[in-house]
Amino acid sequence: MAQITLKNLAHSYLAAPTGDDDYALKELNHVWKDGEAYALLGPSGCGKSTLLNIISGLLVPSQGRILFGDDDVTEKSTADRNIAQVFQFPVVYDTMTVRDNLAFPLRNRGADADYVTRRVEEIAHMIDMEAELDRKARGLTADAKQKISLGRGMVREDVNAILFDEPLTVIDPHMKWELRTQLKELHNRFGHTMIYVTHDQTEALTFADKVVVMYDGRVVQMGTPEELFETPAHTFVGYFIGSPGMNLLDAKIDGATAYVDGTEIPLGASYGQPQGRVQIGIRPEFVTLSADEGVPVKVRRIEDVGRHRIIRADFFGTQINIIAHEGVSVSPEMTRVVFEPSKVNVYADDWRVEPAALGRAA
């Protein structure tokens, strides 16, 4: 096990990349701490699988170095890196039994037969496939095959890291929960560094200690689920995480006040006078409808999604979303909204502006 360091790493699938746009992965520096569970979250095509394949050695980066501990592994083969990876679609060796499938990575590394038997039993128990151990893998369901793939990824105890590339895509929803919980448990028990690629925020937020959000070939934020929710570092994070995502409104900022179309909105802190395209962002959870306070909106429609209601409203021509929790009454007279000042974030050119002074400026 080791800490994984990425230094000035970038990758392009083109032979001679010219501009920034040619890079599937733009230059980045990043440290994956030993023994933590990370989720790599982002939309399709944002470069997360590229990053994963570079770490596992299936791809050689166009530039930059990868260190495992102090050891430079950039040029090393996948096998030498001692890494396990689970892929999006189940990869099983059809003609082998489940037992042989699980034992395969161990046997290829010349492990002792007794140890292999013991370890395979353990893993089979973990993925709940003890009954199928002596069956051929061919003809098993996609679920079962993916469980074998997961098992094969976890069978080696001495790996530097276990990488997951959207491993639960083909699994039934109820199994997803179970397997994810099991993965989490395994992480707690064995303390492997785990990197879990997904485009599903629930999956990322429930699995990981730290979530790394990627967008357009860049890491835009790394943080705990709470940080991503409360203080998204980039408008994309605000928009991508949360359901619905963060409301973003073009604004002018002067100290602790934002002006949207001339309407004053108080902020929780002073931000000076940021330049560029300035926006304020507030999560629908922190917007409340009111009859007599705040700024005017036009309510367009209300969707009841069970736990809460989502109100779609028109705020000076921009659509905003408001979440009203169960038990909060919504009536036709409520044509104003209140933004909770301390939950409003300020963005200049899509990046979050740190407040100058904490507490409300006088």
Partner 1 sequence: MEKTRNEKAWFLVLPVLVLVAFSAVIPLMTVVNYSVQDTFGNNVFFWAGLEWFKETLASERILNALGRQAFFTAVILAIEVPLGILVALSMPKRGVWASVCLVLMALPLLIPWNVVGTIWQIFGRVDIGLLGHTLAAMGIEYNYTQNALDAWVTIIVMDVWHWTSLVALLAYAGLQSIPEAYYQAAKIDQASRWKVFRYIELPKMSGVLTIAILLRFMDSFKIYTEPFVVTGGGPGNSTTLLSIDLVKMALGQFDLGPAAAFSIIYFLIILLVSWVFFTVMTNLDKKEGK
Which residues of this protein are in contact with partner 1, per CB under 8 A?
53, 56-58, 77-79, 83-85, 87-89, 91, 93-96, 104-105, 108-109, 135-136, 138-139, 149, 152
**Least distance to partner 1, CB of residue 84, Å:** 6
Minimum distance of partner 1 from residue 304's CB (angstroms): 38
CB of 22 to partner 1, least distance (A): 20
Enter the DSSP assignment of 357: B
Q: Is-contact 165 52, C-beta < 8 A?
A: yes
Nearer to partner 1 (CB atom), residue 65 or residue 136: 136
Let me know if 348 is exposed, middle or buried by CB neighbors in 10 A (0-12, 13-18, 19+).
middle
Asked if 35 and 3 touch (Cβ cutoff 8 Å), the reply is no
- Residue 87 or 190: the one with the smaller Cβ distance to partner 1 is 87
Cis peptide, bond prior to residue 167, ω within 30 of zero: no
**Minimum CB separation from partner 1 for residue 58, in Å?**
5
Q: For residues 152 and 187, which CB has a smaller minimum distance to partner 1 in the complex?
A: 152
Nearer to partner 1, 96 or 175 (CB): 96
For residues 6 and 73, give the distance between their C-alpha atoms in angstroms, rounded to a whole number: 10
| Bridge partners, residue 7, by sequence | 65
Least Å distance, CB 179 to partner 1, is: 18
Report the nearest approach of partner 1 to the CB of residue 169 (Å): 12
Q: Whose Cβ is closer to partner 1: residue 91's or residue 338's? A: 91
Residue 166 or 203 having the CB closest to partner 1: 166
Radius of gyration of the chain (CA): 24
CA geometry: angle at 331 spanning 328 and 333, to 5°?
Answer: 130
Minimum CB distance to partner 1 smaller for 13 or for 89: 89
Backbone angle region of 124, left / alpha / beta, with phi > 0 → left and psi within -120 to 50 → alpha: alpha
**Closest by CA position to 92, among listed 147, 41, 42:** 147
Please name which of 79, 33, 362 lies closest in space to residue 192, comparing C-alpha atoms.
33
- Residue 157 or 354: the one with the smaller Cβ distance to partner 1 is 157
Alpha-carbon distance values, 273 to 120, 238, 254, 270 (Å): 62, 22, 5, 9
How far apart are the C-alpha atoms of 103 and 188, rounded to whole Å? 23
Q: Which is nearer to partner 1, 95 or 117 (CB)?
A: 95
The strand pair at 263-266 and 257-260 is best described as antiparallel
Nearest distance in Å: CB 21, partner 1: 24
What is the spatial distance between Cα 169 and Cα 246, in angstroms, rounded to a whole number?
Answer: 26
Please report where in the chains the tokens 């590394």 appear, as a residue.
109
- Neighbouring CB atoms inside 10 A of 96's CB total 16
Q: How far apart are CB 60 and partner 1 at their closest, in Å?
A: 13
CB of residue 82 to partner 1, shortest distance in Å = 9
